[in-house]
Structure 1
Amino acid sequence: MATVSLGDLAHSFMLRRQTVALKAQSQRLSTEMVTGLAADRGAKLGGDFATLGSIDASLARLESFKIAGNEAAGFAGALQSVLTLVDDLAGKTAPLLLTAGTAGTAPLIDPAGMTSLQQFKSVMAALNTGFAGRSLLAGMETGKAAVVEAETVLTAIETASLGATTAAELAIAVNDWFDDPAGYAATVYLGGAALAPLSVGPTDEVTLAVTANDPAIRDTLKGLALAALLGRGVFAGDSDQRGEVARLAGESLVQSQSTRTGLAAEVGLAEARIEAAAARNAAETTALKIARTGLLGVDGYETATLLETTETQLETIYALTERISRLTLVDYV
């Protein structure tokens, strides 16, 4: 029976080819050990990528919803903080005004007026609060301030109420200016229409439609602006009328408290929906990742065994190569 022998060069090439193949297999098995997933997806899936593609597409979509949900949660939280501040400032001002109005004396009315002026300025500044470079209360016009400065507002109100000779007339003039489309909405509010609903899940949308032109905000500003006029000297020297202004402003702030609460509750519900959507998205993501692992996962024990076998074969080839490289004619004879 004839035999076929390999020459030295052919033998060297054979060993080199086996070494390359074993190194590639070792690298693949090492990757699979670390990731727990098959390195060769085509072989693992038998060439059918339809299910894997669907899972990956769903995971990508859920990741985008996660990003949108995080942004919406931050935006809603910042918005809630502004509403809380506005309510807190209005809530603290109302009792001061009512007390001053009841007493009707300058020592109480004047400090209440100055406090109201500062509170009004603080509220106007709060309405221009931004989050991540976006104006919170400017609606669709997120790149600009929501309202003009407080001094501009008070100057406009003073101009609109020049004919008022009593506290009641002044209060009516202030209310009318805020309700007039050509008043607050046209000259103070700089934003646009309310934000459109935001998608935070496959079937979940939340609405954060609060703007500085919301009726609850305007109602609060009516009382604060009326009281702020005391700090600017309206009806100077007439304690009776100034006391009546304080009383009317305090009552206005008390009456608008329910609308402020309703607005905060609306944002709170949106926050709850965002949180619930995030929980559903996280659960779905976990389920999809488990399914993905089921498609591409490898047996850890089997992979470790194959890796050890491959490394042993590599070591054997290295030993043979070293031995052959040291052979001489004397050793062969």
Structure 2
Amino acid sequence: MSAVSLGDLARTFLLRRQNAALKADVQRLSTEVVTGVAADVHQKTGGDLSALQAIDGSLTVLAARASATGEAASIASALQTGLARLDGLASDMSMKLLSVGNNATAMTTDQLGEEAEEAFRTAVATLNTRVGDRSIFAGTRPQQAAVLDADTILTALDTVIAGATTAADVQTAIEAWFDDPSGYSALAYTGGGRPASVTIATGETVALEVTADSSAIRDSLKGLALAAMLNRGALSGAPSERVSLGERAGSALLQGQTARVDLGARLGRAEARIHSATISNAAEVTSLQMARKELLGTDEYETATLLKATQAQLETLYNLTVRLSQMSLTDYL
């Protein structure tokens, strides 16, 4: 029987094909060793991708939900910080205004008025707090400031109390402006309505409804603005009425404390729900990832053994190629 041999060109093509196949196997096995997941998904699943698609779809939803809950948690925390600062300003001023009483002097009243105006300015700045590109107290209009600047609001209030001759008149005018929908809500509040609820888990939503137009916040601004009028010439020439105005402002701020605490508590409950949902979603992600690994996972020991064997074959092929390329006619004969 005559022997069948390969020509040089045919042998070259054969070696190249074997080289490419072994390199592909090494690459595939290396990936599987590192990831622990089969590189050929269709082969591993037998062509039935329904279970894998369901898992990947759920993971995509959970990834989007993680982003939403993370943002909600960040905003809720910033809102809580802002509320705490506003409550601190209001509570501090109420104590100072109510502690003066009948012993107040014109200088003391003037000092309290100056401090109250600074507190009002700080409160307005707090309400215009931004987290990233969001104005957190602006409701559905997060792209803009929640309220006008303090100077604009105080100038408007100067006009509102013009002509008032008693502390009661000033209080009535200030409260009417803040309570009238065509007053503070229309002229000073530049935000929008309450934000829509955010889905934080399957069948569970949370609403961060705190805005600079919330009644508790509006009442706090009202009390601070009332006291700030002492620094803007309100009831000048009537010392006793100015003292009375300070007391009325302090009383208003004290009465608003319950509403501020309640608002903070409701926001705290929303924070707790967001935190709980975050943990639950993370656990679900872990469970789905384990199911995916079980579906596509490989035997790491077996894969490593195959990789070592394939690398040995590739090295053998390289050595053979070198020897064949160096063979001369004399060696062949």
1:302, distance to aligned residue in structure 2 (A): 0.5
Is 1:122 aligned with 2:155? no
Q: Could you list the per-position Cα deviations for residues 216-271 of structure 1 after superposition, in whole angstroms to 9, with x for gaps in the alignment?
A: 01111121111111111211132211111111110111000111111111211111
Equivalent-residue separation in structure 2 for 1:193 and 1:49 (angstroms): 45
SS in 1 for 2:148: coil
1:270 paired residue number: 270
Equivalent-residue separation in structure 2 for 1:233 and 1:67 (angstroms): 50
1:2, distance to aligned residue in structure 2 (A): 6.0
Which residues of 2 match residues 178-257 of structure 1 at below 5 A? 178-257=178-257
Equivalent-residue separation in structure 2 for 1:332 and 1:3 (angstroms): 16
1:150 paired residue number: 150
| Structure 1 segments (4+ residues) deviating >6 Å | none
Inter-CA distance 21–225: structure 2 relative to 1 (3 Å threshold): same
Query: Normalising by the residue count of structure 1, what TM-score does the alignment of the two structures yield?
Result: 0.95
| Amino acid in the other structure paired with 2:58 | S
Contact 1:104 1:240 in 2 (8 A): no
| Amino acid in the other structure paired with 1:267 | L
1:18 paired residue number: 18
Name structure 2 gaps, 5 residues minimum: none
Equivalent-residue separation in structure 2 for 1:164 and 1:56 (angstroms): 68
Equivalent-residue separation in structure 1 for 2:22 and 2:150 (angstroms): 77
1:141 paired residue number: 141
Q: Could you list the per-position Cα deviations for residues 287-315 of structure 1 after superposition, in whole angstroms to 9, with x for gaps in the alignment?
A: 00001111111111101111111111122
SS in 1 for 2:200: strand
1:175, distance to aligned residue in structure 2 (A): 1.2
Contact 1:100 1:112 in 2 (8 A): no
1:323, distance to aligned residue in structure 2 (A): 2.2
| Amino acid in the other structure paired with 2:120 | F
1:63 paired residue number: 63
Of 259-268 and 96-105, more deviation after overlay is shown by: 96-105
Equivalent-residue separation in structure 2 for 1:121 and 1:216 (angstroms): 17
Which residues of 2 match residues 291-302 of structure 1 at below 5 A? 291-302=291-302
SS in 2 for 1:181: coil
Name structure 1 gaps, 5 residues minimum: none
SS in 1 for 2:141: coil
SS in 2 for 1:143: coil
What is the root-mean-square deviation in Å for CA atoms of aligned residues? 1.6
| Amino acid in the other structure paired with 1:232 | R
Which residues of 2 match residues 48-59 of structure 1 at below 5 A? 48-59=48-59
Inter-CA distance 166–36: structure 2 relative to 1 (3 Å threshold): same
| Amino acid in the other structure paired with 1:32 | E
| Amino acid in the other structure paired with 1:314 | L
Contact 1:42 1:48 in 2 (8 A): yes
| Amino acid in the other structure paired with 1:297 | G
Equivalent-residue separation in structure 2 for 1:169 and 1:209 (angstroms): 33
Equivalent-residue separation in structure 1 for 2:20 and 2:118 (angstroms): 79
Contact 1:104 1:242 in 2 (8 A): no
1:30 paired residue number: 30
Query: Normalising by the residue count of structure 2, what TM-score does the alignment of the two structures yield?
Result: 0.95
1:65, distance to aligned residue in structure 2 (A): 0.7
Contact 1:101 1:245 in 2 (8 A): no
| Amino acid in the other structure paired with 2:127 | L
| Amino acid in the other structure paired with 1:69 | T
Equivalent-residue separation in structure 2 for 1:60 and 1:294 (angstroms): 19
1:82, distance to aligned residue in structure 2 (A): 1.1
1:3, distance to aligned residue in structure 2 (A): 4.8
Contact 2:109 2:246 in 1 (8 A): yes
2:44 paired residue number: 44
Inter-CA distance 233–25: structure 2 relative to 1 (3 Å threshold): same
Q: Could you list the per-position Cα deviations for residues 115-148 of structure 1 after superposition, in whole angstroms to 9, with x for gaps in the alignment?
A: 1111111111211111111111111111111111
Is 1:309 aligned with 2:306? no
1:96, distance to aligned residue in structure 2 (A): 1.2
Pairs aligned (count): 333
Equivalent-residue separation in structure 1 for 2:226 and 2:239 (angstroms): 16
- Give percent identity, aligned residues only: 49
SS in 2 for 1:205: strand
Equivalent-residue separation in structure 2 for 1:42 and 1:321 (angstroms): 34
Equivalent-residue separation in structure 1 for 2:79 and 2:149 (angstroms): 19
Is 1:159 aligned with 2:159? yes
1:151, distance to aligned residue in structure 2 (A): 2.4
Equivalent-residue separation in structure 2 for 1:217 and 1:77 (angstroms): 17
1:88 paired residue number: 88
Equivalent-residue separation in structure 2 for 1:224 and 1:305 (angstroms): 76
